[in-house]
Amino acid sequence: MKTDSEFKLDEYALEKAVPYLLNRAGVRIGETFSKELVKFNLTLPMYRVLASLLRIDAQRMTHLAEYTSIDISTLSRLIAAMERKKLVRRQPGETDRRSVHVVLEEAGRDLGMRVAPLADLYERVALSNISADEIATLKRLLVQIYDNIGSLGRP
């Protein structure tokens, strides 16, 4: 890893920088998939919530925020909108009544199950012409990058 004193601006190329490349790919996938989600009256963050709850229902708000990469205040407003659509509901935790869990309603489960195959298609298209071993390596490396960068925000 280069130190600050070794960094040379004339050697830096944005179009080759990992954060730029990750964002560029993510934005393209997200924008394209979001156009499909409009047909279901969903936003991409709403779909992330549904997909997360399909996998693990009755999640605490804090876990759901971390899992979907949505900050807690934004998630709270999003969950309120999804409650109005009768896709999810909030309920107090069973052991700790102060904690709030988000639970899928039947309509949310049905909608999530209808959209999940479309999300799978988008992932398959994004990863086409990439070997299974490369895909496994890519996913492992993305998790490692996420964990690595998290160390910068820790005291």
> What pLDDT, in 10s, does the model give residues 46-97?
999 999 999 999 999 999 999 999 999 999 999 999 999 999 999 987 777 7
Does some domain include residue 60? yes
Q: Is the pLDDT of residue 5 over 70?
A: no
Does some domain include residue 152? no
Per the CB < 8 A criterion, the answer to whether 58 and 102 are in contact is yes
Q: Alpha-carbon distance 23 to 26, whole Å?
A: 5
Q: Alpha-carbon distance 152 to 112, whole Å?
A: 34
Q: Alpha-carbon distance 92 to 102, whole Å?
A: 9
Does some domain include residue 39? yes
Number of domains in the chain: 1
Task: State the pLDDT at residue 154.
Answer: 65
Does some domain include residue 120? yes
Does some domain include residue 136? no
> What pLDDT, in 10s, does the model give residues 92-109?
877 777 788 999 999 999
Q: What is the average pLDDT across 20-44? A: 96
Please state the pTM of the whole predicted model: 0.85
pLDDT band at 155 (very low <50, low <70, confident <90, very high): low
Q: What is the average pLDDT across 32-37? A: 96
Does some domain include residue 50? yes
Range of the domain at 116: 18-129
Does some domain include residue 93? yes
Q: Which CATH number goes with the domain that contains 97?
A: 1.10.10.10
> What pLDDT, in 10s, does the model give residues 94-153?
777 778 899 999 999 999 999 999 999 999 999 999 999 999 999 999 999 999 998 887
Task: State the pLDDT at residue 127.
Answer: 97
Per the CB < 8 A criterion, the answer to whether 80 and 135 are in contact is no
Does some domain include residue 54? yes
